[in-house]
Amino acid sequence: MSEHLGLDLWIKRDDLTGFAFGGNKGRKLEYLIPEIQASGAETVVTCGSLQSNFVRQLGAACRMIGVRCVAVVMELPFDGPAGKPDTTPLPLGGNARLGELFGIEFCIQEDGTWDRLFEQMDDEADRRRANGETVMVIPVGGSSVAGAYSFMKAGEELGAGFDAVVTASSSGSTQVGLAYHFAGTSTEVIGVACDPEPELPQDLSDLALRLDDAVGKGARLSPEDFHFPLDWVGPGYGVPSDKGQAAFEALMQLEGIPLDPVYSAKAFSGLIDMAADGRVKGRVCFWHTGGLPSLLALPVHG
């Protein structure tokens, strides 16, 4: 693949982190789970799509510590301005099936915007509190300060000497943690958008400032510090793209490494195009965030 792209490609295999089928969310849970335990909550409420990788791994972790996991989900949350992508109903299986096996309580909502889903999550938490349950709400994708902190630590693991790190970005704490770690170095972090949300760099900056308040390194990242290209989202969040499918085939054929259709295949399609036009060059790390269970649920083409 390095020869194919004309650069020195490295791949960080977070698809192989291992816990409950692996992926980037295992890193966040390393720090989120102690917070849940310290809170004394008996129930955790989160939200996401039905094929959320975070929900799957959170559910497995909650099972281990004896906490109930409630996931307020939609089949396909979509962004208001961009509208709902045109797609046939997405089949079950993949993460939805694993979540069921792991004992997650799904509250399935009608498809709508992310903002509506966040409200429905808060309503579900309030309803349970009113019933006397102690509840902790975990934001979508585990993108709290703890989640971002885990990817700051992950950046330390990678070390220096890369011209660029390219990864998929959606709820944002993966990109925030990496960008925070590499701030002020010669390593550029590019988070390829998997959600058509041009306003996300503001959220990324807000989370980075909260991370800095906690860590105290003094790196104050503004929205402009986040490279968040929207060019490879395809039909929309959660719907496979043709370019992603081509990227999947290329990496499978040359290296035998699978990508997932919702995140990593879109990010890798971005890397392929950015290598072709010289936007990235030299020693480049593709941060493979995992997500492979959804390969067993979604159709190949959008």
Ligand X SMILES: *Cc1c(COP(=O)(O)O)cnc(C)c1O
Catalytic residues: 52
What's the residue count for the chain?
302
Q: Which helix (H) or strand (E) holds 84?
A: none
φ, ψ of residue 296 in degrees (nearest 5) = -90, 10
173 forms part of the interface with ligand X (CB under 6 A): yes
Give Cβ neighbours of residue 143 (< 8 Å, ≥ 6 apart): 28, 171, 172, 173, 176, 207
170 forms part of the interface with ligand X (CB under 6 A): yes
171 forms part of the interface with ligand X (CB under 6 A): yes
264 forms part of the interface with ligand X (CB under 6 A): yes
232 forms part of the interface with ligand X (CB under 6 A): no
φ, ψ of residue 93 in degrees (nearest 5) = 95, -165
Residue nearest to ligand X (CB): 291
Q: How far is CA 206 from CA 144, 201, 226, 244, in A?
A: 11, 9, 11, 29
The number of residues that bind ligand X (CB under 6 A) is 21
Whole-angstrom distance, CA of residue 225 vs CA of residue 243: 26
53 forms part of the interface with ligand X (CB under 6 A): yes
289 forms part of the interface with ligand X (CB under 6 A): yes
149 forms part of the interface with ligand X (CB under 6 A): no
Whose Cβ is closer to ligand X: residue 43's or residue 53's? Answer: 53
Whose Cβ is closer to ligand X: residue 155's or residue 290's? Answer: 290
| Contacting range for ligand X; rule: CB under 6 A; set: 18-26, 58-66, 85-93, 248-256 | 18-26
Burial environment of residue 279 by CB neighbours within 10 A (0 to 12, 13 to 18, 19 or more): middle
Residues that bind ligand X (CB under 6 A): 23-25, 53-54, 141, 143, 168-175, 260, 263-264, 289-291
